[in-house]
């Protein structure tokens, strides 16, 4: 009991204990009343929504499942009136949609690449599983190298690195081949490494830095690059499959995964460059970003495919798929850079000062304090870019690379399967496939967002 006095003073004698909140009306009817029919406008919208569902869903289900044809050998099966989706068509073309014109006897190589990718990606995505470091190394470093050998067959016949391009080595060692590996290239490589080491070391030492450590860093870079080239160069006994034969989902995934994996680190570097205090770095980053953002992807692909060879010296003719890959990666890196920059700008100045005050260097500060927070903030934007990149891969069709959609459209021309519903069936299937990938990315990003949002920011 508390006492109130007539003169307006008050003294509390007993504290009020917390009580449970008033009982709400629970149950389906109460939920519907609150969420669906809480007013005239909402009731109207609910009714319209139900009408839309009734209008769209039953015909869709009828086309895709009830009226659909499930078995058959050719177009005969799908001709009759009132016929729904022609699934035998997808079944017959399935291999082509996945592998393109990859030789049928070699398709197991693609299967291994798919399986290995999934096996490495899943444990990487489950945040609570251990061995993230080694897992990330396997997925981001070892996997691409091995996948390259499996898909192309390796044995790239490296013949000249730098010095031999001026004809300096060939006369020295002759035309020696050891196990399918060209000795000229490796003599060239070792000598170039030593030259570059000396040049960089000398330059750094001249500028007053530690020439020795610079030279050693250079050596490590060349060693790892050399190892990769060596693995690609050794004849492992696989047939060569040129990228022109690749197609279907294989190409879609190769472009999308390369684009995604390359664009994030590149984008982060560009975003940091754009916020750098060094004017030259900032200017170069701005020019790069604005150039790639100002040009449509189609133009980039056209340029890479048809015009680049005109500018490159005779004899250097990089692979068409590789050129498209680089174009897509740089294009999406520019977008990624702006997304990441948005995150960097949201980090308060105090975080930088706190990090500097405890003695972290600039790169430690960025790696440990700023980027983890900035990237977490912009996960929705990053995944948005990934999804749009995934769908934009279909544009490589215009430079005659047949990705999943391109392969699908190519299969429409098969007179064996020419029926009125072939087109609808194909696009319905493509829609489902793209939706599964994009929806998967979207859901996964929501999961990561929730998991990382443990910081309870103030």
Partner 1 sequence: MSELHSTVSPEELHAVHTPPGREVAVDLVGVHKWYGEFHVLKDINLKVHRGERIVICGPSGSGKSTMIRCINRLEEHQQGTIIVDGIELTNDLKRIDEIRREVGMCFQHFNLFPHLTILENLTLAPIWVRKMPKKEADELAMHFLTKVKIPEQAHKYPGQLSGGQQQRVAIARALCMKPKIMLFDEPTSALDPEMVKEVLETMVSLAEEGMTMLCVTHEMGFARQVANRVIFMDAGQIIEMNEPEPFFSNPQHERTRLFLSQILH
Q: Which residues are at the interface with partner 1 (CB under 8 A)?
A: 350-351, 353-361, 364, 368-369, 372-373, 376, 452, 454-458
- Closest CB to partner 1 among residues 312, 358: 358
The least CB distance from residue 377 to partner 1, in Å, is 10
- The alpha carbon of residue 84 and the mean position of all alpha carbons in its chain are separated, in whole angstroms, by 35
Provide the H-helix boundaries in 26-142. Answer: 28-35, 40-61, 87-99, 107-125, 132-137
The least CB distance from residue 273 to partner 1, in Å, is 18
- Closest CB to partner 1 among residues 133, 456: 456
- Rounded distance between C-alpha atoms, residue 292 and residue 100, angstroms: 30
The least CB distance from residue 356 to partner 1, in Å, is 6
The least CB distance from residue 449 to partner 1, in Å, is 13
The least CB distance from residue 141 to partner 1, in Å, is 24
- Closest CB to partner 1 among residues 74, 217: 217
With beta carbons less than 8 A apart as the criterion, state whether 226 and 378 touch.
no
What are the tokens at 349? 């100045």
SS3 233: helix
What is the helix (H) or strand (E) element at residue 422, kind and residue range?
helix 422-452
- Rounded distance between C-alpha atoms, residue 118 and residue 112, angstroms: 10
The least CB distance from residue 253 to partner 1, in Å, is 32
Least Cα distance to 255 among 403, 101, 95, 115 occurs for: 403
- Closest CB to partner 1 among residues 105, 454: 454
- Closest CB to partner 1 among residues 159, 364: 364
- Closest CB to partner 1 among residues 81, 350: 350
Per the listing, tokens 């204990």 go with 17
Antiparallel, parallel or unpaired: β 10-11 and 3-4: antiparallel
- Closest CB to partner 1 among residues 286, 452: 452
- C-alpha distance from residue 417 to each of 113, 376, 394, 421, 422 (Å): 31, 48, 23, 10, 7
Least Cα distance to 430 among 390, 384, 398 occurs for: 390
The least CB distance from residue 361 to partner 1, in Å, is 6
With beta carbons less than 8 A apart as the criterion, state whether 263 and 329 touch.
yes
- Closest CB to partner 1 among residues 381, 406: 381
With beta carbons less than 8 A apart as the criterion, state whether 436 and 129 touch.
no
The least CB distance from residue 202 to partner 1, in Å, is 22
- Closest CB to partner 1 among residues 141, 368: 368
In 163-276, DSSP assigns E strands to: 177-178, 181-182
Least Cα distance to 159 among 55, 77, 233 occurs for: 233
Provide the H-helix boundaries in 275-319. Answer: 279-294, 297-302, 308-311
The least CB distance from residue 435 to partner 1, in Å, is 33
């Amino acid at each position: 009991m508390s006492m109130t006095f007539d003169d307006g003073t008050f003294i509390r004698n007993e504290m009020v204990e917390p009580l449970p909140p008033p009982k709400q009306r629970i149950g389906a009817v109460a939920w519907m009343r609150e969420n669906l029919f809480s007013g005239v406008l909402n009731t109207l919208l609910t009714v319209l929504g139900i009408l839309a569902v009734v209008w769209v869903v039953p015909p869709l289900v009828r086309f895709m499942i009830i009226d659909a044809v499930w078995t058959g050998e050719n177009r005969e099966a799908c001709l009759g009136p009132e016929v729904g989706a022609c699934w035998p068509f997808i079944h017959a073309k399935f291999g082509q949609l996945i592998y393109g014109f990859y030789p049928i006897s070699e398709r197991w190589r693609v299967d291994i690449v798919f399986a290995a990718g999934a096996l490495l990606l899943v444990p990487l995505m489950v945040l609570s599983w251990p061995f993230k470091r080694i897992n990330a190394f396997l997925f981001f470093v070892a996997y691409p190298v091995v996948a390259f050998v499996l898909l192309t067959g390796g044995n790239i016949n490296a013949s000249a690195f730098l010095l031999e391009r001026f004809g300096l080595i060939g006369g020295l060692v002759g035309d020696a081949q050891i196990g399918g590996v060209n000795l000229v290239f490796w003599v060239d490589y070792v000598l170039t490494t030593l030259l570059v080491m000396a040049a960089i070391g000398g330059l750094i030492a001249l500028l007053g830095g530690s020439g020795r450590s610079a030279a050693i860093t250079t050596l490590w870079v060349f060693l790892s690059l050399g190892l990769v080239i060596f693995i690609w160069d050794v004849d492992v006994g696989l047939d060569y499959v040129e990228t022109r034969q690749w197609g279907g989902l294989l190409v879609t995934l190769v472009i999308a995964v390369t684009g995604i994996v390359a664009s994030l680190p590149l984008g982060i570097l560009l975003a940091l460059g754009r916020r750098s205090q060094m004017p030259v770095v900032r200017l170069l980053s701005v020019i790069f970003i604005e150039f790639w953002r100002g040009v449509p992807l189609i133009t980039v692909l056209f340029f890479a495919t048809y015009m680049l060879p005109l500018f490159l010296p005779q004899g250097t003719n990089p692979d068409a798929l590789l050129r498209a890959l680089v174009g897509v990666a740089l294009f999406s890196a520019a977008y990624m850079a702006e997304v990441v920059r948005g995150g960097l700008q949201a980090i308060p100045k105090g975080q930088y000062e706190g990090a500097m005050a405890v003695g972290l260097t600039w790169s430690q500060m960025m790696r440990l304090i700023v980027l983890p927070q900035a990237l977490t903030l912009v996960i929705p934007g990053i995944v948005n870019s990934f999804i749009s990149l995934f769908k934009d891969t279909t544009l490589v069709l215009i430079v005659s690379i047949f990705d999943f959609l391109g392969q699908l459209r190519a299969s429409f021309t098969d007179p064996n399967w020419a029926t009125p519903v072939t087109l609808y069936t194909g696009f319905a299937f493509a829609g489902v496939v793209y939706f599964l990938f994009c929806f998967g990315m979207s859901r996964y990003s929501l999961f990561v967002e929730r998991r990382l949002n443990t910081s309870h920011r103030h």
